[in-house]
Structure 1
Amino acid sequence: MNHNDILRRLRYALRLDDTATIAIFGLVDYDMEKDYLSMLMKKEDEPGFMLCRDKILSLFLDALIIQKRGKQEGAEPVVLKGSERLTNNDILRKIRIAMSYRDDDMLAILKLANFRLSKGELNAFFRKPEHRNYKECGDQVVRNLLKGMVVKYRPDSAKTTIMPVTKAPKPRKPAQKPVKKPQPAPANEETNSVWGKVKPK
């Protein structure tokens, strides 16, 4: 799961079109071009795909925090340098802040994606790396959180009904009536003829 997937799924869950997404980037003074955004939204096997850098996803999440909660005076978004990386723990934390999620909210959203997690396991993702209870967040947790957000905010699109494939019954051939063979007349009975009744000899 790369940053393109996260950006794409987050946009989908929150119903953010290109105009709204570009406006959100503007909240952190980043001039996102529509053509560049289009390349980020492509899948890896599509022509024109461009990998989303850690810096871009971090800026978007920081801008989402401002869009959802307002800008705090004196707090400036941290622009990641080329060597700095955005971890899954960072992504989880920024989504939590932007959406004002509490522990129970996040656990409930994960449950919508049929993903079970205890409160202790969740809190371990928000510890500092040097804390003894710190735990690295895997792709599975982020993926299921975004999946749960789609179920929560876009319930209609999250429901997919797959009809079972049934084979059409083969047409039955019409039953053929048995052909009755003409029975020879008994020897002791008169036989009908165009010449009249003829007695057997």
Structure 2
Amino acid sequence: MLNNEAFRRIRYALELDDATTVKIFADGLYTCDEEAVKKFSRKDSDETRVIFPDKEFAHFLNGLIVHRRGGKPAEVAPNEAINNNKTIKKLRIAMEMYEDEMLVVFDYGDIRLSRHKLSALFRTEGHKHFRECNDHTLRQFLKGLAIYCDRQRQSQSS
């Protein structure tokens, strides 16, 4: 999945406005302004969008972890490559989700996973039980995350 699409969907699911997103980038040790956030957030069909490089996306995900949990951001390698598995792993850390909550989120996204298949997504590449997270799985996870977060907000306001 393109980083721009994942970025848009994460912002939608977590209801992140531009100012908060800039702060998250700062927490991830990356400097950008609201205009850059808007360019990264534009749809693929928009000719004025800017391709969101892996390194900057890694800064965003690390910043999201720091923003939600505190601590120091992880170092981002100059040639950092972000794939769907890393994206889900970093979101799981940021959201402080346990296995049961992850299964609920996938369920909201209309994907039924067993515990074994879920754990396979978090294995290191090359492990015999590693399972690659395809674009459809990540899209459905982010769709489920939006529903999950919305229900969390509703239960807190009641």
Q: Where does structure 1 lack aligned partners over 5 or more consecutive residues?
A: 156-201
Structure 2 Cα separation of the partners of residues 43 and 97 of structure 1: 27
Secondary structure of the corresponding residue to residue 146 of structure 1: helix
Partner of 1:107: 103
Greater relative contact order (Cα 8 A, min sep 6): structure 1 or 2? 2
Alignment match of 2:124 (pick from 120, 123, 128): 128
What is the count of residue pairs matched by the alignment?
151
Partner of 2:77: 80
**Structure 1 residue 105, shift from structure 2 partner:** 0.6
Q: TM-score, normalised by structure 2?
A: 0.89
**1:93 maps to amino acid:** K
Structure 2 Cα separation of the partners of residues 147 and 43 of structure 1: 17
Structure 2 Cα separation of the partners of residues 12 and 130 of structure 1: 33
8 Å Cα contact 1:54/1:80 also seen in 2: no
Structure (1 or 2) with the larger CA radius of gyration: 1
How much identity, in percent, do the aligned residues show? Answer: 34
**Structure 1 residue 68, shift from structure 2 partner:** 1.0
Partner of 1:91: 87
8 Å Cα contact 1:64/1:98 also seen in 2: yes
- After superposition, what is the alpha-carbon deviation per residue over 1:131-180, rounded to whole angstroms, capped at 9, x for unaligned? 2111111112211111001112235xxxxxxxxxxxxxxxxxxxxxxxxx
- Aligned ranges 1:13-32 → 2 under 5 Å: 13-32=13-32
**1:81 maps to amino acid:** P
Partner of 2:149: 153
Divergent runs of 4+, >4 A: none
**1:149 maps to amino acid:** L
Q: Where does structure 2 lack aligned partners over 5 or more consecutive residues?
A: 152-158
Is 1:142 matched up with 2:133?
no
Check 1:29–1:85 CA distance in 2 against 1; reply closer, same or farther (3 A cut): closer
